[in-house]
């Protein structure tokens, strides 16, 4: 019985080694199911697009105005926000759902203000979708805490709620560091072609 187990184990190891040696390239069809376990790994090098146009999806003039405000907020964040230069866009009673900040406009200005003072912050706004008083932004925050020109950044989907006066009053986010490699060739920001 022990000899049979040892023989099976040896055969499995040999088959695995042959498979690894003979098929070490990524599959040509990214939609084909993996043929080997290693093909499920992070084998595609990620890239961060820097030459693109922000896609805005909004139906009404009011929704387009909200999208414009969202883009302006990100511009101010990257250049150096203060409580004062955000006051015409963000409510003082701003409700924060992010785990990184307390409520209020001032902590938001302080966080991004300190980053902008120390690092070459870039915020790439890839798309803004507005429906009624809600805006959804798909962005890449680069160089928030480093001056490395190769920084891949942090992918985010920010969800905003605006009040009847057009001020940002509430925020949720989902954040993910952009990894150097991915199990698919699609990237994290632009539409696949």
pLDDT tens per residue, range 144-156: 999 999 999 999 9
Pick 34 or 175 by higher pLDDT. Answer: 175
Listed in order, strand segments (DSSP E) in the chain are: 44-45, 55-57, 90-96, 122-131, 134-142, 154-162, 168-177, 181-182
pLDDT band at 62 (very low <50, low <70, confident <90, very high): very high
Whole-number Å distance between alpha carbons of 176 and 192: 20
pLDDT at residue 158, as a whole number? 98
Q: What is the pLDDT of residue 42?
A: 64
- ∠ CA 46-142-96, nearest 5°, is 115
CA 66 – CA 176 distance, rounded (Å): 25
pLDDT for residue 21: 44
Q: Are 160 and 168 in contact (CB under 8 A)?
A: yes
Task: Look over the chain and give the mean of its residue pLDDT values, rounded to a whole number.
Answer: 86
Q: Which residue has the higher pLDDT, 70 or 33?
A: 70
Contact 118, 67 (CB under 8 A): no
In the predicted structure, residue 72 carries a pLDDT above the cut 80: yes
- In 3D space, the residue among 53, 51, 94 whose CA is nearest the CA of residue 73 turns out to be 94
Whether residue 137 contacts residue 74, with contact meaning beta carbons closer than 8 Å, is answered with yes
Local confidence band at 44 (pLDDT 50, 70, 90 cut-offs) = confident
According to DSSP, residue 154 is labeled E
Which comes out higher in pLDDT, residue 191 or 5? 191
| CATH architecture for residues 55-182 | Roll (3.10)
pLDDT-derived band at 18, boundaries 50, 70, 90: very low
């Amino acid at each position: 019985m022990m000899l049979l187990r040892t023989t099976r184990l040896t055969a499995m190891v040999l088959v695995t080694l042959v498979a690894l040696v003979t098929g070490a390239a990524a599959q040509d069809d990214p939609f084909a199911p993996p043929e080997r376990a290693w093909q499920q790994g992070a084998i595609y090098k990620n890239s961060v697009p820097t030459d693109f146009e922000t896609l805005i999806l909004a139906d009404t003039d009011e929704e387009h105005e909200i999208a414009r405000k969202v883009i302006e907020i990100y511009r101010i964040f990257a250049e150096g926000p203060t409580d004062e230069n955000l006051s015409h866009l963000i409510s003082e009673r701003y409700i924060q759902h992010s785990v990184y900040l307390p409520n209020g406009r001032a902590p938001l200005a302080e966080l991004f203000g300190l980053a902008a003072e120390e690092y070459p912050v870039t915020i790439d706004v890839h798309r803004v979708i507005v429906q009624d008083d809600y805006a959804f932004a798909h962005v890449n925050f680069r160089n928030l805490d480093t001056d490395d020109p190769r920084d891949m950044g942090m992918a985010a989907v920010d969800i905003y709620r605006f009040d009847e006066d057009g001020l940002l009053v509430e925020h949720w986010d989902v954040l993910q560091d952009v990894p150097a490699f991915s199990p698919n060739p699609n990237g994290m920001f632009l539409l696949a072609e």
